[in-house]
Amino acid sequence: MLSVNGVLSVLAGRRSVAQNPRLRHGSGRRPDGRGLRRANPFPPGVQPLHSRDIVTAVLESLDTLGGGLRLAPFTALLGLFDIRPDAARATLSRMRREGLLSTEKIGREVEYAPTDQMRQRLKAERDRSLVPPSPDWSGDWTLVLYQIPESDRARREKLKRRLIDRGYGQINPTTWISPRDDRESLRCDLCCDDDPSVVVLTSRTGSLERDRELAARAWDLADVVAQYDDFLREWEPRLAGIDRVSGREAFRLRALLMSDWFHLPRHDPRLPLPLQPQGWPGQAAFVLFNRLSTALDAPALAHLKALREG
């Protein structure tokens, strides 16, 4: 019988996801290879990320403040990103049906607030995105192995999306890995404690060289580097004068910044320092993000609070 610590050694010898394009999840870059999926956020009138990404960024701000936001100011905020009121209402309605938003009737108006499920997702995003990579590493990988039949494709795709969102990389069609031990939160997120078709465990290769090879196989690290380079090119010019923007503009920029930054870890495994390739730009991007968010947080949240109370 194969030992748990031998699992990765066997998997590492198989054809990798990076070598088999049919098995790889989509990268964050556009098919033409020119930068992030969306256009540059700064010129006025440019459509930014999908409305769902912007709604999530607004909910992140709401979660920080606590409480909810009425529909009228919510749609007004989304208008800052050229999201039409009908598209805004459709996105809010869809996220409510998915259990991510709650609604409460206040007089003749409806107030939207993140649900506990959404707050848990936002916390997971913060934990993954706002904490720098660890300088140390235990050598343990978290593995997710599943056997879900082809007939239940919707469930398989949902599981894959959640693993991608958590920064997992794919080794073969039914095995995903992460260089962190997040078994407990993962089991809770996937609701798989009593599901024999999904197994979550830890394993190690016993060799740092093998670990680095495994990371290079599970993730397209060259693409992650390119995304970080795009992030640095887009946001470094905004540092000049960032502390002098209006509250309205601070909120707009903060939402775009959070959308961009939360999007990156879906393709970045947040490798601990021992696993990072030489010249990894993630740390420089992290420092830039912190400088920008520190400057934008207070005026952006003050603008949201004033809009909510107005």
Res 149: pLDDT:
82
Residue 220 has pLDDT above 60, yes or no: yes
Residue 130 vs residue 191, higher pLDDT: 130
Give the pLDDT band of residue 158 (cuts 50, 70, 90): confident
Q: Is residue 54 within 8 Å of 259, Cβ to Cβ?
A: yes
CATH number at residue 68: 1.10.10.10
Residue 292's CB is within 10 A of a number of other CB atoms, namely 19
Domain assignment present for 107 = yes
Q: Where are the alpha helices (DSSP H) in the chain?
A: 7-12, 51-65, 71-79, 85-97, 116-129, 153-165, 183-190, 208-218, 221-235, 247-263, 282-309
Res 244: pLDDT:
92
* Rounded average pLDDT over 14-38: 38
- State how many domains the chain has: 2
Q: How far is CA 30 from CA 34, 56, 76, 230, in A?
A: 6, 22, 29, 12
Of 99, 118, 137, the position where a domain reaches its end is 118
Domain extent, residue 234, equals 219-309
Give the pLDDT band of residue 285 (cuts 50, 70, 90): very high
Domain assignment present for 139 = no
DSSP code, position 24: P
Residues 6+ apart with CB under 8 A from 167: 128, 178, 265, 266, 268, 269, 270
Of 94, 118, 142, the position where a domain reaches its end is 118
Q: How far is CA 68 from CA 64, 80, 117, in A?
A: 11, 19, 15
* Rounded average pLDDT over 5-11: 51
Domain assignment present for 178 = no
Q: What is the pLDDT of residues 30-60, one digit of tens each?
A: 333 334 444 333 333 333 347 888 898 889 9
Share of the chain above pLDDT 70, in %: 80
Domain assignment present for 131 = no
Q: Is residue 146 within 8 Å of 174, Cβ to Cβ?
A: yes
Res 163: pLDDT:
85
* Rounded average pLDDT over 161-179: 86
Residue 257 has pLDDT above 90, yes or no: yes
Residue 152 has pLDDT above 50, yes or no: yes
Residue 253 token pair: 């920029």
* pTM, rounded to two decimals: 0.71
Of 79, 100, 118, the position where a domain reaches its end is 118
